[in-house]
Every structure is written in structure tokens, then in C-alpha cells.
A = this chain, B = another copy of it.
């Protein structure tokens, strides 16, 4: 019974934990935004791994496009292994980690504190070592996450970042768009039934490529990670631009491709790629609310058109979570405890 798994429960409680986050954490986010502005900080260095690193990728695009920030995804091994830390000149150093336990991520924040720089943590555990190393802590309010594959902690990390973007833009409270998120998430979760059907078709797929660009570059990485963790398929994420610089060579007749293409500024680039994939007879699963794009798909999945592009990563990933879960179930795998993984990975 998939419905009794932790993973299923956690995927479907996303509207609730998201509403929790929106109503409880605005003040903490505002305080962080004020500290950033008081120091005139224009540069954020993010330390994170796995799913949290994908949330960092969303921050790179969102805080870049909306708030003029240069966002660096850091190389934690510079701190933990080479012991040669860069100098964080007037940076915010931001750790993102559900558990707040990974020593390499904590190490980056400790180094930043030693250098007297501003630090913050986005975490599900306000008593964790990561939270203790941070000047400002944003609690993602996801509640206990027991499935090894992170779902609600990912979406709530994205929402924290969206809240930070709004606070940095000077808003006094979350915008109406942001407050629509719990509803939009619920609507997207209604795709559960069609996605559980479609999943059968991928039972014997060995590998595929997932494409997302701009704000949804992060979504491509996170969907690829869910598929790998849960279904043991080799799934590689790309932006459509990077994919054309070399990797396109792998496309042959029937090659499986997933395109994440909610309506937005990437439409043209996604249309061109979808056309080229069709000419090359690739097998495409396209998730979009753009009719022209859906027409080019082998398997179209219509996303509800609820949100502006910058918030679409928060709903688009849900399709990836559900596809990963249903495909793992069809293949007979344990969706809560994938082989070889633990919930907390303590890399040095």
C-alpha cells in the first residue's frame, strides 16, 4: 500500500506545511532581509548538498533575477578537506540543510563566523549544529520528515527563499501570489492519478535526461535526484542551453527526455528544443501549461496554470516527486528507505 508510506504522506501534506511556513516565519525572514540590507550585502554564498543544493540553485536564479544578488553555490570541500577557505568579503553565508547535521556544511558557516561575516541557516531543525553556527535561522516548518527522499523539506526550503526574495524587495508581508501557493500545490497534487498511470510506461526505462531552465533549472536537478534515489534510474539534469553544448549527441530515436516547461520566459528556448527532439524522434514527456509545447510531446502532462514563472518551481517539482514515487512502487522498491542511503548523510 503506497498510501501508507511516509513518502506518500509527506508528499500530500505539502499544502499544510507550506501554509504553516507562510503564517509563522515571515518575521524571521524579514529580520534576515534587514540584516542583509543594513550591511549592503550583494553577494550570497550558499553551502548545501543534495536536495538542499537544488534549493540553493533556485536561490541563485531567484535572488539574482529579482534582487540583483550574485549567488555562489560553494564548494564545501574547500573548507573541509583543503582547509584553504576563500575570504567572504561582505557576503552572507547561507547554509541549507533539512537536518542541519552535515559537518562540511556546518564547517562553511563556522569559517564565515570566524571571518566576522553574516551567517544564516535554512533548516528543519532549529537545535542543529547548523542552526547554532548561524546568526539568523529560518525554520522551514516541514515537521518530521521520515522518508529518506526529501520532498516537503525541499518545497518549504524553496518557499523560504521566495519569502526572503519578497522581504528583500521591501514587502511588509507575503504577497498575494505567495499566499496562493498552498492552493496551487493542492491543485497540482491532483495530477496524482494521471501520473500514477503514466508511470507504468517507464517501468523498463534505464536512463533519461530532464531539462529545465532558468527558475526551473533547480527543478530539473531535483526531479533527477528523486528519480535516482527512488527508482535507481540514471537521470541526468540539464538546462536546454547546456544540453545543446555537447550532450545533445546522446539523443537517438526513442531516447527518453523529460521537459519541465511551465509558462514563462523560457518558452521560446523550450519550443526550439522540443521541435528538435521531435525531429530526432526522441520520446518526450513534457510538463507544461503551454499548448504549443504540449502538442510536441509524446506524453503531455498539463500543469495547472496557477502561478507566475518565478513560483512555478514549487509546483512543478510535485510532478517529479509523484512520478518518482509511483515508478519506484511499480518497480517493487521500498519508497521510504531506498537501498544504500540514510536520512542523514554526514560527509566530511
Binding site for B on A (CB under 8 A): 42-43, 45, 49-51, 53, 60-61, 64-66, 68-78, 81-82, 84-89, 91, 104, 149, 206-207, 209, 213-214, 217, 225, 228-230, 232-234, 236, 239, 241-242, 244-252, 265-266, 269, 280, 338-341, 345, 347-348
List the B residue with the shortest CB-CB distance to A215.
B82
Residue from B64, B82, B247, B269 within 8 A of A348 (CB atoms): B269
- A-B CB proximity, top 6 nearest: A50-B245, A241-B347, A72-B72, A65-B84, A249-B338, A207-B234
Contact residues in B for A241 (Cβ distance below 8 Å): 49, 76-77, 104, 347-348
In the complex the two chains form, is A236's CB within 8 Å of B236's CB?
yes
CA distance A251 to B73 in the complex (A): 27
Within the complex, which residue of B75, B209, B338 is in contact with A60, where a contact is CB–CB below 8 Å?
Answer: B75
Which B residues are in CB contact (< 8 Å) with A75? 60-61, 64, 217
Residues of B contacting A72 in the complex (Cβ-Cβ under 8 angstroms): 70-72
The distance from the CB of A311 to the nearest CB of chain B, in whole angstroms, is 14
Complex Cα–Cα for A87 and B230 (A): 39
Cα A85 to Cα B269 in complex, Å, equals 19
Q: Which residue of B lies closest to A345 (CB)?
A: B245
Sample (10) of A-B pairs whose CB atoms are under 8 Å apart: A45-B70, A77-B213, A77-B241, A81-B213, A81-B269, A149-B246, A209-B234, A236-B236, A245-B345, A249-B340
- List, in ascending order, chain B residues with CB within 8 A of A280's CB: 340
A325 to B269, CA, bound (A): 31
A77–B217 Cα gap in the complex (Å)?
10
Chain B min CB distance to A214 (Å)? 5
With A and B bound together, what is the CA distance between A280 and B68 in angstroms? Answer: 46
Contact yes or no, A65 B78, CB < 8 A: yes
Q: Are A87 and B42 in contact (CB under 8 A)?
A: yes
